[in-house]
Amino acid sequence: MKDKVRVMISEEEVNARTRELAEQISKDYEGKSVHLICILKGSVFFSCELAKRLTIPVTLDFMSVSSYGSETVSSGRVRILKDLDESIQGRNVLIVEDIIDSGNTLAYLMDLLGTRAPESISICTLLDKPDRRVTDVDVKYVGFVIPDEFVVGYGLDYDQYYRNLPYVGVVEN
Ligand code: IMP
Ligand code: MG
């Protein structure tokens, strides 16, 4: 991994924005508990940072769906690799994603999880690339709206690398 990574969103900026989102979510769900669904693997880092800052009761579950593989263009296919461990019936579900690109993954997940009788279901994403949207999806909480560039770090990978960078950046060859 000799490529250089240009910082797009610094660690400090991500932390500050995560705190703001957590405050908003804690306010919106006041008196309730929230069931976070972390979409593996990309959203692991953001999910943890968000969860740590929530002041309402939190439970967590994990789901894994197919993504790009080694390509950088969405295939439009969504496949469940790992389903949730627990029922979401009657729960206030908040899906936590790293990035919304075409919207295919989240549109599919919203439809699927919506059939399992949750009390409510919303989406929180660290990043949103609206220029690339193919399928419309209602996103309640957005960390940062970013331009159409392929980003890595803070959970986001290029060929499985760079997830551990503490900031969001662009690989420059
Ligand atoms: P969507 O279904 O096209 O919205 O994309 C969903 C998934 O594509 C995300 O959860 C990421 O795993 C991946 N993805 C989309 N854009 C990027 C990017 O810029 N960098 C790394 N992964 C991305
Ligand atoms: Mg990925």
Angle, helices 11-28 vs 44-53, to 10°: value is: 60
Whether residue 55 is contained in a domain is answered as yes
What pLDDT score was predicted for residue 163? 97
4 - beta bridge partners? 172
Give the atom of ligand 1 at the shortest distance from the alpha carbon of 137: 4
Indicate if ligand 1 lies below 6 Å from the C-beta of 102: yes
Whether residue 3 is contained in a domain is answered as no
Whether residue 142 is contained in a domain is answered as yes
pLDDT in tens, 115-148: 999 999 999 999 999 999 999 999 999 999 999 9
Residue range of the domain that includes 107: 10-149
Reply yes or no on whether 101 is catalytic: yes
pLDDT in tens, 15-59: 999 999 999 999 999 999 999 999 999 999 999 999 999 999 999
124 - beta bridge partners? 96, 141
**Cα dihedral sign for 13, 24, 122, 84?**
positive
Q: What is the distance between the alpha carbons of residues 33 and 19, in angstroms, rounded to a whole number?
A: 18
Q: What is the distance between the alpha carbons of residues 54 and 20, in angstroms, rounded to a whole number?
A: 10
Q: Taking residues 104-118, what's their average pLDDT?
A: 95
What pLDDT score was predicted for residue 70? 45
Whose Cα sits closest to atom 16 in ligand 1?
A: 101
Indicate if ligand 1 lies below 6 Å from the C-beta of 125: no
Q: What CATH number corresponds to the domain at position 59? A: 3.40.50.2020
Which of 98, 101, 128, 157 is catalytic? The answer is 101
Q: Look at the chain and report how many structural domains it folds into.
A: 1
